[in-house]
Amino acid sequence: MPKIGIGYDIHRLEAGRRLVLGGLDIPFSAGLFGHSDGDALVHAVMDALLGALGESDIGAHFPDTDPQYKGARSIGLLDEVVGLVRERGGEIANVDAVIVAEEPKMGPHIPAMKAALAPVLGIPASSIGIKAKTNEGLGAVGEKRAIACYAVVLIELPD
Ligand code: MG
């Protein structure tokens, strides 16, 4: 049975923080604020997977009030969510995502993001789409105060 899921996340940019996106450290003057490492791309993918399973969102699974998730590497949390898919006998078919960021340029980092996500998702990099867009200067993202990410996934579950 094919199941799709959608995920969205946005995090504020804070000067001097490390920027982690798609499981990568990206050199930049600001990073994403959050209880975990703030990896909005991985959070969007996690929510898409949980949505395809009919589960509640990552806030319910990994509460930001729980000290064990303070500074957590989001890619490790993604691994736990992929484990949930596997427990249900599910297989991930593909993931497609959009990063909306005014800065820095994401294009050069996309191949490495796919390479970081592929082994965790258990799918080839060719089954992962990541596009980078700006917000044309509009709103909080356009004003470089935040980075937003969208993701959709398709998983196959047993009937
Ligand atoms: Mg988040």
Which pLDDT value is given to residue 149?
Answer: 98
Residues of the domain holding 145: 2-156
77: pLDDT strictly greater than 90? yes
Query: What spacing in Å lies between the alpha carbon of 72 and ligand 1's midpoint?
Result: 12
Do residues 86 and 41 make contact, with C-beta atoms less than 8 angstroms apart?
no
pLDDT per position as a tens digit, 99-138: 999 999 999 999 999 999 999 999 999 999 999 999 999 9
Q: For the chain, what is the mean pLDDT?
A: 96
Query: To which residue do tokens 């993202």 refer?
Result: 141
pTM exceeding the 0.85 threshold for the entire prediction: yes
Query: What spacing in Å lies between the alpha carbon of 34 and ligand 1's midpoint?
Result: 7
CATH of residue 95: 3.30.1330.50
Q: How many percent of the chain have pLDDT more than 90?
A: 89
69: pLDDT strictly greater than 90? no
Query: What spacing in Å lies between the alpha carbon of 94 and ligand 1's midpoint?
Result: 21
**What interhelical angle do 74-87 and 110-121 show, nearest 10?**
40
> Structurally, how many domains does the chain consist of?
1
Query: To which residue do tokens 């004003």 refer?
Result: 143
Query: What spacing in Å lies between the alpha carbon of 123 and ligand 1's midpoint?
Result: 23
- Better-predicted residue by pLDDT, 63 or 116: 116
